[in-house]
Amino acid sequence: MVTSTGGQPTETTTASTTTTTSTTTATSTTTTTSEPPPSTTTEAPTTTAKPPANLGSAAEVVRLVNVERAKVGCKDLTEDKRLDNAAQGHSDDMSAHSYFSHTSQDGRTFVDRERNAGYTNAGGENIAEGYTSPEAVMDGWMHSDGHRRNILDCSFTTIGVGVTTKGWYWVQDFGR
């Protein structure tokens, strides 16, 4: 776990091969709308739904992870929408229910959440709470041996990131 209270992060989780799946899934959608033209000669303006404010933060975490991996010779991680959905779902759940754990209150692990999102080759998970920027959370993770180990694990090939600004819950889900 990573906390913003000045203490060192204390917990990371890595997948084992003897886990099972659960039954819920997290999804995210973006909607684009447009008005039909009022006449045959003039089109109405198109309106695009604004992406969530945390979308840029998640993308920046992915970028920063790949910067750190490049320093040690690991290939860039590819963002996977299924892992994004699993990570965002867990981040939202921790925020909504005011808890901080790799295990959901219903007993699901990150492996369960990744499989429920359609991803079957789970690798690891990092979580953090209270950091208000991508740079701060990455600094916290990089100064924690277990979290750093997940970020720099060259066997991981994919990543999903979720962030919820109410309480600032961050989740990185890694896959192989």
**In this prediction, what percent of the chain has a pLDDT beyond 70?**
69
86 or 14, greater pLDDT: 86
pLDDT one-digit tens code per residue, 97-145: 999 999 999 999 999 999 999 999 999 999 999 999 999 999 999 999 9
Contact 93, 83 (CB under 8 A): no
Q: Place 170 in a pLDDT band, splitting at 50, 70 and 90.
A: very high
Q: Place 13 in a pLDDT band, splitting at 50, 70 and 90.
A: very low
Lowest mean per-residue pLDDT among 30-34, 69-73, 101-105, 155-159:
30-34
CA distance 136 to 114: 25
pLDDT one-digit tens code per residue, 48-57: 333 444 568 9
Please state the rounded mean pLDDT for residues 16-27: 29
Question: In terms of Cα–Cα distance, which of 135, 53, 138, 49 is closest to 88?
Answer: 53
Q: Place 41 in a pLDDT band, splitting at 50, 70 and 90.
A: very low
The secondary structure of residue 109, as a DSSP letter, is: -
Give all domains of the chain, ordered by start, each with its CATH number: 59-175 (3.40.33.10)
Residue 157's CB is within 10 A of a number of other CB atoms, namely 17
Contact 140, 48 (CB under 8 A): no
Does this model's pTM top 0.75? My answer is no
CA distance 46 to 48: 7
Which strand (E) or helix (H) includes residue 171? strand 169-175
Angle between helices 134-142 and 54-71 (to 10 degrees): 40
Contact 91, 163 (CB under 8 A): yes
CA distance 128 to 147: 10
CA distance 69 to 97: 33
pLDDT one-digit tens code per residue, 70-99: 999 999 999 999 999 999 999 999 999 999
Residue 19 in this model has a pLDDT that exceeds 50: no
